[in-house]
Structure 1
């Protein structure tokens, strides 16, 4: 996969109240859902973006539920300036004041897999909530040839945060829950399954490599991204 990723993950601007929405379950409001055009352009797993060129950004769609219970919150974030969508998602969940005695599950659909920095932040976040289960489904792999990003993906799995490549079912679920679908079923684009299988194979090869606990911190230090706290 040759992702047409920007130098900085995500672009400037706002989608809604700073690039996110939180929709109360069952309120029927579609105003702040992803448009069909945004969904297909940003979540599309095609190998290359054909003309006319458009910039692929990072979107995080999330659904927070009580374990085997109702949905508490759902919404999406996109990158805003220098703040990655994953970090904005973490900030939102932290602000909800979750009950430590309850068990929760969060499902995320993400356009690009987390970078090394966000992988570390996600791990630290889940360690604050031992009763929270986080699953991440990704459309594409972000700069997968960078060793620090590969290490970040392995570290997420080692920390019981599975990162799984989206297939038809995941795209359909994301379309149903986060796109202004106007009641229309999800329509697959050409070669969706073929592209998904190719990305899955690439991710599997990355995960099969040995996990080096200090490798991610060393790699990020070389990039001068600041200290990494895995604790």
Structure 2
């Protein structure tokens, strides 16, 4: 008799989606954004995810959802985003405006890849985010492991092993170097 696999939770994505979109070597067709919100007052954690659509970027979709949750502007929270692509210049501006309207929100962004890193608007957007207090990092092997264990509905597959994409480790290092160069311009 086979063991019953745990059901997928609404805030989890399928393993294939994660592997396809968060691989730092591949170019995902759309942006995925996994996020955690920790409310400081109660210590509760809330998780969800969204993607880009034909009309809106994933960052805008996430900000709209978070806006609905921020009914009381005095509620302090720490938000961590795990993005398949870094924000574009336009999304960076929207994020900054959101943070200005919600000064009690702390945002940390971890990305698998840099989106069009040679585009000056995207480079400036990343610097502006950092100058507005946002922390931006390239996803580390620990981040991949955390996302796999937390956001992926693996239903026991690879549950007992550490999911770390060792084969693209050089790409992670390259992306980190590129991000540091952009932020230090």
The one of 27, 30, 50 aligned to 2:8 = 30
Report runs of 4+ in structure 1 exceeding 4 Å deviation. none
Unaligned 5+ segments in structure 1 are 1-27, 50-54, 210-231
Q: How does 1:1-231 map to 2 (within 5 A)?
A: 30-32=8-10, 33-46=12-25, 48=26, 55-67=28-40, 69-71=43-45, 73-183=46-156, 184=159, 185-209=161-185
Task: Tell me the distance in 2 between the aligned counterparts of 1:103 and 1:96.
Answer: 12
Counterparts of 1:207 and 1:101, CA distance in 2: 30
Tell me the distance in 1 between the aligned counterparts of 2:100 and 2:162: 35
**8 Å contact kept, 2:141–2:165:** no
Q: C-alpha separation between the residues in 1 aligned to 2:89 and 2:64?
A: 18
**Which residue of the partner structure matches residue 226 of structure 1?**
none
Whole-angstrom CA distance in 1 between matches of 2:9 and 2:75: 31
Structure 2 SS opposite 1:135:
strand
Q: Contact 1:107–1:135 (CA<8 Å) still a contact in 2?
A: yes
User: Structure 2: how far apart are the matches of 1:31 and 1:102?
Assistant: 26
* Structure 2, gaps ≥5 residues long: 1-5
Alignment length, in residue pairs?
A: 175
Alpha-carbon displacement from aligned partner over 1:83-128 (angstroms, at most 9, x marks no partner): 1110000110111243222211111100000000000000110111
Contact 1:168–1:192 (8 Å) recurs in 2: no
Distance in 2 (CA, whole Å) between partners of 1:136 and 1:179 is 19
With structure 2 as the length reference, what TM-score do the two structures score? 0.88
Q: Contact between 1:41 and 1:56, CA under 8 Å: does it hold in 2?
A: no
* Greater helix fraction, Structure 1 or Structure 2: 2
Distance (Å, rounded) in 2 between the aligned partners of 1:58 and 1:94:
20
